[in-house]
Chain A
Amino acid sequence: MLSFLTDYTLQNVMIGAALIGIISGVLGCFAVLRRQSLLGDTLSHAALPGVCLGFLWAGSRSMESLMAGALFSGAVATVIMLTLTRRTRLKMDAALAVTLSLGFALGVVLLTFIQNRGGAAQAGLDSFLFGQAAATVRGDLYPMAVIVLIGLSLVVVFWKPLKLMTFDPEYAAVSGLPVRLLELFLTGMIALAVVVGLQMVGVILMTAMVIAPGAAARQWSGSLLGMLLLAAFFGATAGISGGVISALAPGLSTGPVVVLVASAIALFSLLFAPQRGLIPSRWRRRHKRSHTSSDRILLTVYELAREHGDWSYRVEQGAVDAYYGMVTEPLLQALAQRDLLKAADHMPDEGPHWQLTQSGCEYAAARSRDQSRTRRLRQVERPA
């Protein structure tokens, strides 16, 4: 069963996919947090002309020249985007869409230019559209690994400024950091991530690899370090499982399968992550609401008992109903279940009565102290 682990092609696919997942997950976190997720989209579409130029320049499909070309066109795309947003009235979204579509159009033109010039060497160049994992050879992995190492060590070296830039760009600017330079640096890093994924995931879908792991990790972790580590893990998981699935099923392009796995991880995180997940937080809210309202009723009983100077004071259920404008019996029963209240003896003609138990009295006293402390704090914060 595990024999496929030793298969040469599969090994390459798994190592490569893990590298892609790690680098795009880590660098994508910054894009997601800085609300620049679609930068990855634009940079990955704009990488296509660079790949073609790299091919034309080197005359062969060598990984290094294609990557260099892609980095170059990423830089040109960044300059165009910045020019459009800073010097014209076009906004960021239009600049992104314009650069994306024109970059891709240029890529398509160059692709057909190369194809029509013929030559067997061009074979497989259009696999960069969707990625073809099975075409990965061991030699392709080295430049990928080098870029991943460079990218990760840059993150480690510039950890502090990057963190500050991400969460408080204004303070970063005030404290004298070269903000513009760091912005360019982060954009360049995303271009790096895109370049690593070209071969296996393809230019069209690398955007998802930049966004999905980061968006998923954000749901689980509240700290930047935790988020980066998780995003790397999610990215590698998506890359490896997608790469293996597509390598085992002939005819499936790698990129789409990897992206579907990454999207599934993101969807699962959105729904089930313990802190921010939609289902846990909805459940928690409902739980809290029922607790809060029964606690309030208990406090009402407590206050009444205190006003009367009698801890075993019997409160009429009808009075509580009238005070809250609702049927409080289920909540009162729930309080009785928690052994905080107990049903009290009462005259035959009157409705049911309730009184505090010993533990109910202590619990309510504690809650009451909490409340008055919060009230005092609020008064301090908001002087009249």
Chain B
Amino acid sequence: MSLVDPTIAILITGALVGMTGALLGSFLVLRGNSMLADAISHSILFGIAVAWLLTGQTSGPVQIIGAALSGVLAVFLIELLTRTRRLRDDAAIGLVFPALFSAGVVLINVYARDVHLDEHTVLLGEIGFVWLDTLTIAGMEIPRAMLTLSVMLLVDALFVLAFFKTLKLATFDADLARVLGLMPGLIFYAHLSLLSGTAVAAFDAVGVVLFISFVVVPPAAAYLVTQRLVSLIALAMLIAAASAPIGYWMAVWLDVSIGGMMALSTGGFLLLAYCWRRLRDHRHYRSRSLEPPPASSA
């Protein structure tokens, strides 16, 4: 059982993408900024294209940091536009990321007619090929994407552990965090920088758009089941990790895109969580012969 075995490499890489995304995504969903995941993951295409033009490579620490900066740039521009009060935040998001994404595609169209970087790979990823690109570390051959994603997961987990209290407070009560001098704005930017770094590391595995599924859907599903932050994060990461093998085998069975099927599997868990919640609410209200609260109050 070696790490360059295609099946093992695909399964581990998929699970890594899922867990990293779900870890960071939990805070995003709870804060009500889910669409920023959309904005960031589209905007990094611009950074990937620029980093590629400057260094000729799409992987490596410098490229990841460089490309991640374009995700942070998108968040900064969105804030700037919103602050002019000429646009609402939704319109600001919708103006910024398509522009950066388009600039990235045009750069690739014009300069990078190259096998290694075309917009379809960036968009859809090719997790089926991750085992082809390997590095040898301490005599052990290891797929490059797996290594990068492991490092990203480690960094993200360390960040969350180190700043857990601050993140929690900044997520649920940003005003209190500000009064206590915890600088929620800074934590917000650090969190989103890590999210865009993770998106860059994940793009050649699942592509930038499918990455959103791993960031948003598992936390959303977990949120339907639990309201405790720690169990929400744990459940979200579990759902994301479980979606990788399920998606893989379904994709092999139906002969379709592996990344797409993994992303779609997270939706299956959301459906399960939804049914479980409906059933539980139903029982809960019937056993107490209560009227359920009006639906729109949620």
Q: Show the binding face of A for B, using Cβ within 8 Å.
A: 32, 35-38, 40-41, 45, 84-91, 93-94, 96-98, 100-102, 104-113, 116, 126, 129-130, 204-205, 207-208, 210-212, 214-215, 218-219, 251-253, 255-257, 259-260, 263, 266, 270, 276, 278
Nearest B-chain residue to A252, judged by Cβ: B109
Q: Show the binding face of B for A, using Cβ within 8 Å.
A: 29, 32-35, 37-38, 42, 81, 84, 86-88, 90-91, 93-95, 98-99, 101-103, 105-106, 109-110, 113, 119-120, 123-124, 209-210, 212-213, 216-217, 220, 223-224, 251, 254-257, 259-261, 263-264, 266-267, 270, 274, 277-278, 295-296, 298
**Could you give 5 example pairs across A and B, Cβ below 8 Å?**
A87-B274, A208-B94, A211-B95, A257-B106, A278-B84
Q: Which of A36, A86, A101, A111 contacts B213 (CB 8 A)?
A: A101
Q: Which of B32, B35, B267, B295 contacts A86 (CB 8 A)?
A: B295
Which residues from chain B contact A111 at a C-beta distance below 8 Å? 257, 260
Shortest C-beta distance, B87 to chain A (Å), equals 6
Most buried by A among B102, B124, B209: B102
User: In the complex, what distance in Å separates the CA atom of A86 from the CA atom of B119?
Assistant: 37
Q: Which of A36, A215, A251 contacts B95 (CB 8 A)?
A: A215
Q: Which of A38, A85, A86 contacts B90 (CB 8 A)?
A: A38
Nearest A-chain residue to B81, judged by Cβ: A270
Which residues from chain A contact B124 at a C-beta distance below 8 Å? 108
Which residues from chain B contact A85 at a C-beta distance below 8 Å? 298
Question: Do B260 and A108 touch across chains, with their CB atoms under 8 A apart?
Answer: yes
Which residues from chain A contact B213 at a C-beta distance below 8 Å? 101-102, 104-105
The answer to whether A253 and B298 touch (CB under 8 A), given A93-B32, A112-B256, is: no
Question: Do B298 and A86 touch across chains, with their CB atoms under 8 A apart?
Answer: yes
Shortest C-beta distance, A258 to chain B (Å), equals 8
Q: Which of B98, B102, B223, B257 contacts A109 (CB 8 A)?
A: B257
Question: Do A94 and B106 touch across chains, with their CB atoms under 8 A apart?
Answer: no
Question: Do A88 and B264 touch across chains, with their CB atoms under 8 A apart?
Answer: no
Question: Do B274 and A116 touch across chains, with their CB atoms under 8 A apart?
Answer: no
Question: Do B109 and A253 touch across chains, with their CB atoms under 8 A apart?
Answer: yes
Question: Do B102 and A113 touch across chains, with their CB atoms under 8 A apart?
Answer: no
User: In the complex, what distance in Å separates the CA atom of A276 from the CA atom of B198?
Assistant: 38
Question: Do B256 and A116 touch across chains, with their CB atoms under 8 A apart?
Answer: yes
Which residues from chain A contact B261 at a C-beta distance below 8 Å? 105, 109
Question: Do B90 and A208 touch across chains, with their CB atoms under 8 A apart?
Answer: no
Question: Do B260 and A105 touch across chains, with their CB atoms under 8 A apart?
Answer: yes
Which residues from chain B contact A35 at a C-beta distance below 8 Å? 88, 90-91
* Secondary structure call for the B interface: helix
Nearest A-chain residue to B113, judged by Cβ: A251
Which residues from chain A contact B38 at a C-beta distance below 8 Å? 38, 41, 97, 100-101
Which residues from chain A contact B29 at a C-beta distance below 8 Å? 90, 94
Which residues from chain A contact B266 at a C-beta distance below 8 Å? 102
Question: Do B98 and A263 touch across chains, with their CB atoms under 8 A apart?
Answer: yes
Q: Which of A205, A252, A259 contacts B110 (CB 8 A)?
A: A252
Most buried by B among A211, A212, A214: A211
User: In the complex, what distance in Å separates the CA atom of A51 from the CA atom of B47?
Assistant: 30
Question: Do A104 and B210 touch across chains, with their CB atoms under 8 A apart?
Answer: yes
Shortest C-beta distance, A179 to chain B (Å), equals 12
Question: Do B278 and A87 touch across chains, with their CB atoms under 8 A apart?
Answer: yes
Which residues from chain A contact B84 at a C-beta distance below 8 Å? 270, 278
Nearest A-chain residue to B106, judged by Cβ: A256
Which residues from chain B contact A257 at a C-beta distance below 8 Å? 102, 106
Q: Which of A90, A208, A210, A253 contacts B220 (CB 8 A)?
A: A90
Which residues from chain A contact B223 at a C-beta distance below 8 Å? 89-90, 94
The answer to whether A38 and B216 touch (CB under 8 A), given A108-B260, A109-B257, is: no
Q: Which of A116, A211, A255 contacts B91 (CB 8 A)?
A: A211
The answer to whether A86 and B296 touch (CB under 8 A), given A96-B35, A111-B257, A205-B98, is: yes
Nearest A-chain residue to B88, judged by Cβ: A35
Question: Do A208 and B102 touch across chains, with their CB atoms under 8 A apart?
Answer: yes
Which residues from chain A contact B123 at a C-beta distance below 8 Å? 129, 204
Q: In the complex, given contacts A93-B34, A105-B261, A109-B261, what are 12 additional A-B residue pairs having Cβ atoms less than 8 angstroms apart?
A: A37-B88, A85-B298, A86-B296, A88-B224, A94-B216, A101-B212, A112-B255, A204-B42, A256-B103, A259-B102, A260-B103, A276-B86
Q: Which of B90, B95, B212, B295 contacts A100 (CB 8 A)?
A: B212
Shortest C-beta distance, A24 to chain B (Å), equals 12
Question: Do B298 and A205 touch across chains, with their CB atoms under 8 A apart?
Answer: no
User: In the complex, what distance in Å separates the CA atom of A92 from the CA atom of B246?
Assistant: 28
Question: Do B267 and A102 touch across chains, with their CB atoms under 8 A apart?
Answer: yes
User: In the complex, what distance in Å separates the CA atom of A319 from the CA atom of B290?
Assistant: 76
Which residues from chain B contact A41 at a C-beta distance below 8 Å? 35, 38, 94
Nearest A-chain residue to B295, judged by Cβ: A86
Question: Do A113 and B209 touch across chains, with their CB atoms under 8 A apart?
Answer: no
